[in-house]
Homo-oligomer: A and B are copies of this chain.
Amino acid sequence: MQLDKVVNYHKALADPTRIKILILLAEGERNGQVLAEKLGVTPATITHHATKLREASLINERRDKNTIFFSLNHYFIKNNATVSVDLIYKNANILGGAEEMDDKNKRLKESVIKNFFTSNGKIRSIPVQLKKKLIVLENLVSRLDKGHKYSEKEINAFIMNYHDDFATIRREFIMHQFMFRENQIYELNPPEMWARWDVLK
């Protein structure tokens, strides 16, 4: 469930040593030994924290010979700071009733599709407003086959039918739970896991 994701994200940031690691990584990539030395802890402790930060998608890693360099996942950090806020307000609406899509949302959906896709089906631009962006992403993702296992190449090629910036859109697919990635293989999530735009304001 999505709640766990948010909780784990906050757990990852709920420790001073981990925050300090992120602060150091904001300067540039660092390996485990250096982090351990700078923070006055053992390499084992760094490994422990790195695992948590990795699980929360807050850091990336790059291996060079025996050394592993950690770095910030800038994109994820910037985009998830507000996720908890979204979750709280979004789920409030769900609990508060408003189950089926109302006319207003239907009209919005049509208008977004009309305005953000060109006549030959390409994406004119990626909406900035979350709600509209989700409508576009959902529309795209609906054209993929359920249960089909896509390579990254295939996903890129698919996206490029609609927009050049496949990297951003591919990331958004994952971030908003439209797809999941395992072993470099991409696959659709069931629709009930997709981010809900119809409950947003």
A27 CB, nearest partner CB in chain B, Å = 4
**What is the chain B residue whose CB lies nearest that of A34?**
B199
Q: Which A residues, 62 to 111, have Cβ-Cβ distances below 8 Å to chain B? A: 64, 67, 72, 74, 77-78, 81-82, 84-85, 87-89, 91-93, 95-96, 98
**What is the chain B residue whose CB lies nearest that of A15?**
B7
Partner of A128 from B19, B125, B183 at Cβ < 8 Å: B183
Is the CB–CB distance between A199 and B14 below 8 Å? no
Fill in one digit per residue for A175-201: 1 if any B CB lies within 8 Å of its CB, else 0. Answer: 001000011100000001101100111
What interface size band does chain A fall in?
35 or more
Indicate whether A138 reaches chain B with its CB closer than 8 angstroms: no
Is the CB–CB distance between B77 and A27 below 8 Å? no
Indicate whether A122 reaches chain B with its CB closer than 8 angstroms: no
A39 CB, nearest partner CB in chain B, Å = 10
Q: With the chains together, A3 CA to B195 CA distance in Å? A: 32
Copy tally for this chain in the complex stands at: 2
Q: With the chains together, A182 CA to B171 CA distance in Å? A: 15
A87 in contact with B196 given A10-B10, A64-B201, A177-B74 (CB within 8 Å): no
**What is the chain B residue whose CB lies nearest that of A194?**
B28
A44 / chain B contacts, CB cutoff of 8 Å: none
Q: With the chains together, A7 CA to B22 CA distance in Å? A: 13
Indicate whether A11 reaches chain B with its CB closer than 8 angstroms: yes
Q: With the chains together, A171 CA to B166 CA distance in Å? A: 11
Sample (14) of A-B pairs whose CB atoms are under 8 Å apart: A4-B16, A6-B19, A7-B13, A7-B14, A10-B14, A11-B14, A19-B88, A22-B88, A23-B87, A23-B92, A24-B92, A24-B95, A26-B193, A64-B200
**A interface with B by C-beta (< 8 Å):** 3-4, 6-7, 10-11, 13-16, 19-20, 22-24, 26-30, 64, 67, 72, 74, 77-78, 81-82, 84-85, 87-89, 91-93, 95-96, 98, 125-126, 128, 164, 167, 171, 177, 182-184, 192-193, 195-196, 199-201
